[in-house]
A and B are shown apart, each in its own frame.
Chain A
């Protein structure tokens, strides 16, 4: 294949995928209010497909995407109503594009003239049924985030402007916080000379702290272009004015070029390049510490001379800037969880088709951000959980009916931030996990159960054991070899954990908790015997100095009474077979939270350090207890403790112990 054709296919496939994501977003916000920006973005994406296919000489794709684009333009401008049917039609057309790309890639023949006609027919039918729209409906095109801030009067003015056939625009301006009132008044004066200012929304989102943004909503009878020029800033057309030609105008070559440019303002970067920047940052941090140390030594020798103070200041300013860069780079790595949700959405739709089970997907918290690397790593575990939910969790329609549930099953994917963690829940309203069956299975597998019995929760934990599956036949769908044990292990290597909640007849939820980012983290450097280790600060809650005489032994386990709660203790020295200090007291680092708390004995707390965790590589595969290695200066490399796996091991040992 020629490389230019390859380039075209790669870009087109990416755009088509993006279009699918946007379409799914539209489908999912159908009832709650569609963001016009999404429809606009979709329009632009298909517009770009048209542009590049024309450029590369794929005339039929260009023709098809032109028709597709025209339909989207109708929708964008409210000429065709966005209904469930319309979205399904759009999705099917996107699938056609996908299919044609495959054909081109494999040099197969294709004919899409039929589809061209069907788009034309759909447009005509939809437009005829459209009729006149009410003001309320038109209002729906405006983003809810703007509408909810309007006062009653402002809303009235907005409606009046719409009734009068004016276009509704949003001008976005950013000013310095110090003198925004003057600049804003000038801008408002210009707006008022062209129309009516309806609302002024101040905003600070995504802006530097010394500036302030204003989104000014206004109505005007002038054209979008005219207003953009007059105001000399970015003006969005929220609602088109009435009386504009109701035909699709062919885009002039110049416009085509500019909108091709605007289709994407993103730069794709290999995450490895960002990792390299992070490495450089951590090296910069080392230089910074060195400067600080030099300053301290100078102060001892020369006292607080202006020069010494200057060095300190420089070091501090270094520190601030370095942490700024670090945050910015980490931010670049963040992606909204919605990106992986939409991929899961595709899987759910596919499996729902294959199994014949009707499934409705509900998403919450798609804007929650997560490190790209982590997001990619948890996609497969999530996929597995979702497949399981469809395959084993959600009952067939008939069965659901009998149980008095709606025939359509529900899967809820929900993401939210909790401290330094992102929690992702996958919840179904299926049959739930049968705890008795899990128990029976455990006995069959020869797992010794303590006579005193286990709580349901403890029994449920068996599903995370290697080779444990309650379904006797491994179905095609859930796949062989990937079990919940793999999910659990994956989460642990990421510094997170997985939890399950289930209620018989009501459903099951798997709750995945992962750190927001793992590239750079603050760690406490501790010493055990002759070795140093890093304990991520995100995993620990406090450090303690414990007198040995205060340690109690309960059921053979050492515990410490920490403000009325028993904290199980584990010695790092014993765990890793090291020779620790001999003393009558020891430092302990409290890690984890809730039922998963643990105190780790260490000999010395050395101090905090920012570390970049590096993988241990295959050589150390299978060794447990370490999340990776990190450099802490002067070519000193230490191991980073994987707190979760240690908690896990300690918990499982607790359980394995026979209750006396």
Chain B
């Protein structure tokens, strides 16, 4: 069983990512966080195998979340995928510098995201 945390403030995008993951097979559980705060609360409750996060979010944004995860010994091993728009190139680069492993630009194709997820889970 692989547990994936989706952090994204848009409910539609969240649902889409969830559907894409469910399409990959039965051994995925997805948990959703609509804000950075929710993600911070979910983190200690589940052993996540992967985190997919947006960058521009209210309260705690994606970069701050990545920094938090990568500087906490309990979470830093979890691979992170950034899902963000073309406009925020600079932020995406910062996210990668902070330790995210890969990114997908919105709008994305299902296969594209699936490929990145598969790679992140089996480097």
Contact = CB atoms under 8 A, between A and B. Distances in A.
Contact of A151 (B37, B63, B72, B74): B63
Interface in A190-206: 199-205
B88 interface: yes
Contacts of B1: none
| Range class of the A interface residue count | 20 to 34
A153 B84 CA distance: 15
B61 A151 contact: yes
A181 B37 contact: yes
B55 interface: yes
Contacts of B61: 151, 154
Most buried by A among B56, B64, B71: B64
A200 B60 contact: yes
A157 to B, nearest CB: 12
B66 to A, nearest CB: 8
Contacts of A268: none
A209 B44 contact: yes
A200 B59 contact: yes
A152 B40 contact: no
A177 interface: yes
Interface residues of B, number: 24
A201 B44 contact: no
**Secondary structure of the B contact surface, majority rule:** helix
A152 B91 contact: yes
B67 A151 contact: no
A468 interface: no
A201 B72 CA distance: 13
Contacts of A199: 64
B60 A202 contact: yes
Given A177-B44, A181-B37, A212-B40, A150 B63 contact: yes
B68 interface: yes
A151 B55 contact: yes
Contacts of B71: 203-205
A180 B37 contact: yes
A149 interface: yes
A149 B40 contact: no
Interface in B19-65: 36-37, 40-41, 44, 55-56, 59-61, 63-65
A148 interface: yes
B91 A151 contact: yes
A177 B60 CA distance: 14
18 contacts: A150-B63, A150-B94, A151-B55, A151-B61, A152-B91, A152-B94, A153-B56, A177-B40, A177-B44, A180-B41, A181-B37, A181-B59, A184-B37, A184-B59, A202-B68, A204-B71, A204-B74, A205-B72
